[in-house]
Amino acid sequence: MSASVGSTVTRTFAAPPEAVFDAWVTPSSFTTWWGGSGIEVPLESVAMDVRPGGTWRATMILGGDMPDFHWRGEFVDVDRPRRLSMTMTDEPGEARELLSATFTAVDDGTEMVFSQTGGHLSAEQYDATTAGWQLAFDTLDTVLLS
């Protein structure tokens, strides 16, 4: 698989960059939008050491016959409120996806440019992750408006 394969989503949120950034790194906010509105992320499953080299973890419960996802990774770049990068996996071993987001103040709030790269998924899997991120960011938009 090519390392250039990945997901990219650009969204504008009606909130300042600090609020959008903080929604990523504050466990009580993170649990409300991570995965989208139909996904449960128990607050007690989330731990975040928000600094370069710090780790994070969160459990995503899809319900039904679907297995739980036990996500984990490391923070790579933490520049509040401009940039956030973190690795992510739910698999054993060292392979990680890289999640990167930039937050830019615009007239209507914040433009977030998000990408997931790493080359560990097929093109079809990246397409599915893009759709999943869109749902999560729809929920994030609602959280930021409340």
pLDDT digits (tens, 9 = 90+) for 13-69: 999 999 999 999 999 999 999 988 889 999 999 999 999 999 999 999 988 898 999
pTM: 0.92
Bridge pairing between strands 109-117 and 97-106: antiparallel
**Residues with Cβ within 8 Å of residue 69, at least 6 apart in sequence:** 59, 60, 62, 90
* pLDDT of 137 over the 70 cut: yes
CATH architecture of 6-145: 2-Layer Sandwich (3.30)
pLDDT digits (tens, 9 = 90+) for 60-96: 998 889 899 999 999 999 999 999 999 999 988 888 9
Cα-based angle 90, 91, 93 (whole degrees, multiple of 5): 130
